[in-house]
Structure 1
Amino acid sequence: MATKIRLQRFGKKSKPFFHVVVADSRAPRDGKFIERLGSYNPNTNPATIEINFEKTLDWVNKGAEPTDTCRTILSHKGILYRKHLQGGVKKGALTEEQADAKFAEWLSAKDSKIEGKKDSLTKSKDEVKKTALAAETKKNADRGAAIALKNAPVVEEVVAEETEETPVAEETTEEIPATEETKEEEA
């Protein structure tokens, strides 16, 4: 029996939510499965991935093949990197302590990258809120000024009208002397 680590779809229309499961490769997508390993929610930013690390690593070591999307998820969580390091320990290229140190270093770098993305998203949201608030207060101030102008008592001002008329420039209808070229064209 060939086993696959794959996604099982849940959720509403256009709001998917997935369970990461180990299933027989012949079973339908949302059908019977052997074991549930975790969940994946692509609706959040960044996507939320919750996986039981030890169970998943055990299944990968037993030979369960992940699908393309699950391979990306497992790589993102470090399960495939951990399997790679365990292979190096079995071959004698690394010691267990070196492998653990490399994995811890990789994990801390990954966590800082994710936290950086979350921080930048919250900062951009805050900036958008601040600009929207500033625009709203400006618009409210403009409305208040317009209402105050409308409700202010009307004061009639006497405007001194000037009765001077400006002379209109006379149009000239002088003929332009014809040149030799225009004479030839007329002929």
Structure 2
Amino acid sequence: MPAKIRLQRQGRRRYAFYHIVVADGRAPRDGRYIERIGAYNPNTNPATIDLDFDKALDWLTKGAQPTDTVRAILSYKGVLYKKHLMGGVAKGAFDEVEADRRFEAWAADKEAKIQAKVDRLSKDEESIKTKQLEAEAKVNADRAEAIAKRNAELAAEAQAANAPEVTEEVAEEEVVEEEPKKEEAPAEESVKEEAPAEETSKEKPAADKEEKKAE
């Protein structure tokens, strides 16, 4: 049975990464392998692929069969395209120099696409962060406005609660000022009542003089 190029699971639960290995087709998935030729981490965006290009190409030419996922990885890295060009050289369709030129052009185009994707993801991430900061600033502004409004309401309530106490104090002061005036009124009346007594004392000598004349 031919060898297989497949993934061997590593890492922890919910954060798995994989080794790209060449193993006997009869061996269990996570069992012993013949050679490790790379690693694949799908947890990053874009996914991180570390592949020994020459070893992968060598095993393909020897007849090793990749799994579907590994085939996609090899196609992404250009191993399958390189194998296709080598087949064209073997058939005499073009020479090895032309094959290298075509592969370099493909690799440059692929690298430009990957870089464009990375730039787009970075720009999207910055845009998301900017929107988050704007949303947080709006929330903070609304919160500050609500706090200021509440403080103004509390100040108005406190002012309204203190207003009656001030009027009562003023009323008490007025009552205290009026009380002495009420006490002075009887004193004037007593003076007026004593006035006739003096007049009677003045009238008594006159009456005595009239009595003496009568005698």
Q: Secondary structure at the match of 2:115?
A: helix
Question: 1: CA distance between counterparts of 2:14 and 2:115?
Answer: 27
Are positions 1:71 and 2:65 aligned together? no
Report how far residue 63 of structure 1 moved: 1.0
Amino acid in structure 2 at the alignment position of 1:134: E
Whichever of the two has the greater Rg, that structure is 2
Question: 1: CA distance between counterparts of 2:4 and 2:53?
Answer: 16
2:90 maps to what in 1? 90
Are positions 1:30 and 2:20 aligned together? no
2:172 maps to what in 1? none
Q: Deviations over 1:67-93 (max 9, x none)?
A: 111111111100010010011111110
Amino acid in structure 2 at the alignment position of 1:52: D
Runs of 4+ deviating beyond 6 Å:
none
Q: Which runs of 5+ in 1 are unaligned?
A: 157-187
1:160 maps to what in 2? none
Are positions 1:46 and 2:38 aligned together? no
Amino acid in structure 2 at the alignment position of 1:110: K
Q: Which runs of 5+ in 2 are unaligned?
A: 161-215
TM-score, length basis structure 1 = 0.79
Q: Secondary structure at the match of 1:50?
A: strand
State which drifts further: 56-65 or 142-151: 142-151
Give the RMSD, CA atoms, in angstroms.
1.3
Ranked by relative contact order (alpha carbons within 8 Å, sequence separation 6 or more), the top structure is: 1
Q: Deviations over 1:126-165 (max 9, x none)?
A: 1111111111111211221222222234277xxxxxxxxx
Question: 1: CA distance between counterparts of 2:109 and 2:36?
Answer: 28
Identity %: 57
Question: 2: CA distance between counterparts of 1:26 and 1:34?
Answer: 12
Question: 2: CA distance between counterparts of 1:57 and 1:4?
Answer: 13
What is the aligned residue count? 156
